[in-house]
Amino acid sequence: MQNAAKPAENPAEESGADSPRGFLVGPDPSDPRLTRAVTGVDHEGRTVETRVVVERPLTIFLNGQEIVTNMTIGDFPDYLAVGFLLNQNMLRPDDEITAIEYDEDLDLVVVRTARETDYEEKLKKKTRTSGCAQGTVFGDLMEKIEEIALSPDARLKTSWLYDLTRKINTTDSLYLTAGAIHGCVLCRGDEPLVYMEDVGRHNAVDKIAGYMVLNGVAPEDKIFYTTGRLTSEMVIKTVQMGIPILVSRSGFTAWGVELARETGLTLIGRARGKRFLALSGAERIEFDADLSAVSDEPKAARRKASQGED
């Protein structure tokens, strides 16, 4: 996909070496736009101040047509818009993006292409997806993913998996600052590259999809990590992006597993400490780690995570 436009200016734009742990893009919990301080009362009746995540609407236009309004934390609107349109098959691989226009006052972003577009009929057919902040899937995505061939040569070493989960779980993030948020991370080998957060995991994955398109990032050797459940939506979007391996610390849905097996996606869930479960694509996994050197997650943490799983 060609990009003839400079991405929309973003106050949280990454700064390379200044990104946490060497991420190309990483969480910025200090960004004052993303959280707000509120006062409340704790279990002992004391007045306390805490930070909560701010959510705001973002309306996405493709050329002159309004497509959808998403509730989002508001960072990286250019990546979110492009990734959403790409994952809905409204942007094609050969599309030339001529401009990306973001209006912070009106809470809208317009993606303009050289190709004329009209998705009136597609917009009539939509599905609300599962999750804490529901997403929307339009049209014929199920038919499209059947045409995608994921790389059979991709590999996941278990040593990489343990390194990735440790690095991701100890990175300063909005989740650690305020909670009520999901994270998605694009990885290669044992290195996390791009870490996006949002109130809905569908937004976080769309931001990464947009980043990949606008920066020419190839998917064949990448690993995708999410904090949320491995649902049909997460599988569809990962396959749409061409990424062959999807990992989560949370669990599975039956349809997510079925779609992963049909598309040849490596699907790994319940990745906590030294434990994980692969329900699809296990042939890509290389069991090279010394389990005696890997710390298991405390039982209290596992119980807490399973109770809040989404």
User: Residues of the chain with pLDDT > 90: what percent?
Assistant: 58
Instruction: Give the pLDDT band of residue 209 (cuts 50, 70, 90).
Output: very high
Q: Which CATH number is 156-307's, of 3.40.630.30, 3.40.50.720, 3.40.50.300, 3.40.140.10?
A: 3.40.140.10
The beta strands (E) that lie in the chain are given as 2-3, 35-41, 47-53, 56-62, 65-72, 96-103, 108-113, 126-128, 136-138, 156-157, 182-188, 191-198, 223-226, 245-248, 266-272, 275-280, 285-286
For residue 299, the model assigns a pLDDT of 55
Q: Delimit the domains of the chain by residue range.
A: 156-307
- Report the predicted TM-score, pTM, of the whole model to 2 decimal places: 0.84
Instruction: Residue 243: name the closest of 286, 212, 197 by CA.
Output: 212
The tokens describing 211, both together, are 């980043």
Instruction: Give the pLDDT band of residue 302 (cuts 50, 70, 90).
Output: very low
The tokens describing 259, both together, are 């779609």
pLDDT in tens, 114-170: 999 988 877 876 544 444 444 555 456 566 777 889 999 999 999 999 999 999 988
